[in-house]
Homo-oligomer: A and B are copies of this chain.
Amino acid sequence: MQELKGMPVVKSLTEGFLTETETLLKSNVIPKLSVIRIGERDDDLAYERGIIKRFQAANAYVDVIALPINVTQENLEKTIIHLNNDKSVHGILIFRPLPKSLSEDRIKNIIAPEKDMDCMSMKNIAQVFAGDSGAYPPCTPQAVIELLDYYNIDLTGKKVTVVGRSLVVGKPLSMLLLTRNATVTICHTKTVNLAEECKKADILIACAGAAKMIKNNYVHSDQIVIDVGINMDGDKLCGDVDYEDTADIVKAITPVPGGVGTVTTSVLLKHTIQSAKRAIKFESK
C-alpha cells in the first residue's frame, strides 16, 4: 500500500509558487489574500495560522480582517466592496459558516468573482459546472486534483466514484473529474448498495462527512482511495474512510490528517497567484 501524503504535494507546489512570486515581484506585485474572519472560532484561527504560514513560505501576503461576532450585514458588505475595489488585493476568503444573523446569499452576489478564491460567487459556480478552465473551483476539490496530479494518477477513462453530493465538495469535484475525462458516479445517502458501488471504482473518493463510513467491504486491492473527510472521533481527527480497516487492502490511500486537507491551503495560494497574474495582464491591456 502506498500512502498518498499531502506534504510532498505541498512542497512541490510551493517550489513552483516561489518561481511565480519572484517573477511577479519584477512587476512590483506581491500576491495578496485578504481573509475576513468573523469572531474567534478555534478552527477559523487554526486555518488562519495555516494560511499565513503557507503564504509566507512562498513570499505572498495575507491580510486578516477580524470582524466582531456581532458585525452587521451592512458593515460586512462594505468591507467586501472595499476589498473588491482595492487593487492591491488579489484574493478574498471569507471564513464560513457565517454567524446566523448574516446572509451568505447576499455575500455571494457581492464578492467580485475574479477575487473569489473559494467559489462563493454564482459566476465561479457556473464556470466550474461548465468545465471552464478559467474558474476558481472550491479549494478542497481542487486539492484532490492537485494530489492526484502529483502522484501521476491519470483519470482518463477511469471509473471514479464520489461519495457525497455537496455543493462545496462532491458536485464541483465531479465536474473537475469529468473535465479530466473520468467516468464519474455520484453516490449519497440514498444510494442502494453503497458498498457495491464503491467497490466497482478504480478510484474511490469519500466526501460524505461521515466518520469512518468506508469499510473493508467497500474497497479492493487495485483501488486508489482518496479521503476528503475531516471528522472527530473522540478527541482524534479521522476521515470518512476507516483507515485501519482498509489501508492494508487497497493499492493507495490518503491519510487523515496529512492528506488532502494539507493541500487545501496551497490551492488557496495558487488561486491568489493566478489572480495576481491576471490583474497584471488586465492592467497592461
Contacts and interface: CB of A to CB of B under 8 A. Distances in A.
Interface of A: 122-123, 125-131, 156-159, 165, 167, 171, 174-175, 178, 181, 183-188, 190-192, 197
B186 A178 contact: yes
B156 A190 contact: yes
Contacts of A128: 129
Nearest to A181: B190
Nearest to A177: B186
Given A125-B126, A129-B126, A178-B165, A185 B183 contact: yes
Interface class of chain A by DSSP = mixed
Contact of A184 (B129, B185, B192): B185
Q: How many copies does the complex hold?
A: 2
A165 to B, nearest CB: 5
Contacts of A175: 171
Given A129-B129, A131-B167, 19 more contacts: A122-B122, A122-B123, A122-B126, A125-B129, A125-B130, A126-B126, A129-B167, A129-B171, A130-B167, A157-B190, A165-B178, A174-B186, A178-B188, A181-B188, A183-B186, A183-B188, A183-B190, A183-B197, A184-B186
Interface centre among A184, A188, A197 (most CB of B within 10 A): A184
A178 B191 CA distance: 10
Given A122-B126, A165-B178, A175-B171, A187 B197 contact: no
A145 to B, nearest CB: 16
A77 to B, nearest CB: 19
A115 B183 CA distance: 34
